[in-house]
Amino acid sequence: MSQTPLPYRPHNHRACVDQALADAHRICNDAKARLTPTRERVLELIWQSHKPLGAYDLLGALAQDGHNAAPPTVYRALDFLQQHGLVHRIASLNAFVGCAHAGHRHTGFFLICRACRNVLELSAPHVAEAVDQAAQDEGFAAEDTTLEIAGLCPACQQEGGHE
């Protein structure tokens, strides 16, 4: 159950990506939304990295494909993917990661390693509740929570990630 989280350990990454794409197809289908080739490719690129990618990283990767895209192409794909809960934007990095819980209601919550730059998405509901409660105590109607934690992942603490 409580084994090392996925991004931190080796795994069959092709299968991991394929699974994410299959899920995405299902989710979009259910929502009657169109997961077009560009959108799918952007999602695939994001999943392949398991690390946050900037919009211009994606733009570069598309260029490698021979797809001569301009910024709006990528930003539009990202908007779509975010709206359907398939990717998240990490505000503190200006970058995007695949959602680890696509299809399930959740308030994401990110552990960002400053050494290896892997990101782990948690969905600890009690944290979300504590946050919502604190907002409510101030009479504030919370709509969107950004919770991003920078630090060192278990692996990088070993190998002298200490500066």
Partner DNA sequence: TCAATGGATGAAACATTATAACATCGCATT
Partner DNA sequence: AATGCGATGTTATAATGTTTCATCCATTGA
77 near DNA, rule: CB under 7 A? yes
Cβ atoms of residues 99 and 7 within 8 Å: no
- What part of residues 126-155 is at the interface with a second copy (CB under 8 A)? 126-127, 130-131, 134-135, 138-154
Q: Which residue among 116, 127, 131, 135 contacts Zn ion (CB under 5 A)?
A: 116
**Minimum CB distance to DNA smaller for 4 or for 146:** 146
> What gap in Å lies between CA 138 and CA 69, rounded to an integer?
45
Provide the minimum distance between the beta carbon of 103 and a second copy in the complex, in angstroms, as a whole number.
22
Q: Which residue among 33, 89, 101, 147 contacts Zn ion (CB under 5 A)?
A: 101
Provide the minimum distance between the beta carbon of 66 and Zn ion in the complex, in angstroms, as a whole number.
31
Cβ atoms of residues 88 and 121 within 8 Å: yes
Element of type H or E holding 90: strand 87-90
92 near DNA, rule: CB under 7 A? no
66 near DNA, rule: CB under 7 A? no
Closest CA to 9 of 109, 154, 162: 154
Q: What is the dihedral of CA 67, 100, 121, 136, to 10 degrees?
A: 110
**Minimum CB distance to a second copy smaller for 32 or for 126:** 126
Q: What is the dihedral of CA 77, 26, 119, 44, to 10 degrees?
A: -50
Interface with a second copy (CB under 8 A): 5, 91-92, 109, 111, 113-114, 120, 122, 124, 126-127, 130-131, 134-135, 138-154, 157
